[in-house]
Amino acid sequence: MALTILNTNTAGLSGAIVVGIMMYLKYKKLDITMILNGALGGLVAITAGPDLYNIYLPILIGSIGGILVVIFVPLFDKLKIDDPVGALSVHLVNGIWGTLAVGIFASNEAN
**What per-residue confidence (pLDDT) applies to 109?**
59
pLDDT one digit per residue (tens) for the chain, 111 residues: 999 999 999 999 999 999 999 999 999 999 999 999 999 999 999 999 999 999 999 999 999 999 999 999 999 999 999 888 989 999 999 999 999 999 999 876 545
Spatial separation of the C-alpha atoms in residues 20 and 26, rounded to whole Å: 10
**What per-residue confidence (pLDDT) applies to 83?**
86
10 Å Cβ neighbour count for 103?
A: 9
Backbone angles phi, psi at 53, to 5 degrees: -120, 160
| Closest C-alpha to 18, from 68, 93, 53, 54 | 68
What is this structure's pTM? 0.91
